[in-house]
Amino acid sequence: MKIAILDQKVRKNLALFKHLVKQQQRKKERFYQVAKKIYHAYVNRHTGELQFAELEKKELPESDWKSIVIQLRPTEDSQTFEVLSEENEGCFEWKEFDPEAYALLSKTIHILNQLAYDPKMGKNPLWVLRHVAHLEFELTDEENGKRSLIHGAWHSVNRYEAEHLLKGRPIGTYLFRKDEVAELLEETLNELFSFPITCITLTYSDWDEKVCEKTLVYKNGSWLIYDDDPTLRGPTCPTVKELLQTLGDQIQSPLLR
């Protein structure tokens, strides 16, 4: 399922939870038969940003972070995500949180519950977790709702079809897609890092009608060109547009849909 989340902070919370569920899936055989329904987390008292105990290895200061429990529990006709106090797994008090933090976490849980609701399948917690694990985010400009560069030049095609689209185009014409290399790299990197990684393919026309490709990696709010270094220590840029500018004349014009 694909959803568009315009609020970057909400999207980050959801992406991190999806990352946790998928990591559990990779680590355990028959994951959905033994999957956890309780998730120990930390919420920032000022921003509402989430971190999960299973992913975050460093100690977080109690002055800024509060320990909570996110639980998936059954109701009469579905499964519901709810936030509990870690101390007694009872009602959660919001008095010590800024209004912004309360609003952000409320939005995050609300969207999770929208994903969990289904008249036929919603009663099955395994279906809910599978739904979360396979969630996809639309590649949109989250800050102002306008169509982003990636979204505009995204083509769901294979290599052969990409070459056909770029045939006869000026040098430097490019498009975005996701090939098997990007898919495998994304899966590998997500096993190594505690935060979600996204990989996409940049396909562009070069000299002598040659079509070339590079894999772009998105991590923690920045982009880089993958250079066979799994530590991802290469130079980064805050936006794809700025990253493409580092390639100079190789990249000129997007092939828009």
- Assigned token pair, 74: 């059954």
SS3 assignment for 93-138: CCCCCCHHHHHHHHHHHHHHHHHHCCCCCCCCHHHHHHHHHCCEEC
State the Cα–Cα distance between residues 39 and 31, nearest whole angstrom.
15
Residues in the chain: 257
| Angle ∠(135,137,139) on CA atoms, nearest 5 | 160
Task: Go through the domains of the chain in sequence order and give each one's CATH number.
Answer: 2-137 (no CATH), 149-254 (3.30.505.10)
Within the chain, residue ranges assigned H as helices are: 8-27, 31-34, 99-116, 125-133, 149-152, 159-166, 180-192, 240-245
pLDDT at position 65 is 93
Q: How confident is the model at residue 247 (pLDDT cuts 50, 70, 90)?
A: very high
- Assigned token pair, 187: 């899966």
pLDDT for 16-44, tens place per residue? 999 888 887 766 655 455 456 888 899 99
Say what the pTM is: 0.68
Stated as kind and residue range, the H or E segment containing 157 is none
State the Cα–Cα distance between residues 236 and 217, nearest whole angstrom.
9
In the predicted structure, residue 231 carries a pLDDT above the cut 90: yes
pLDDT for 41-80, tens place per residue? 999 999 999 999 888 777 889 899 999 999 888 887 788 8
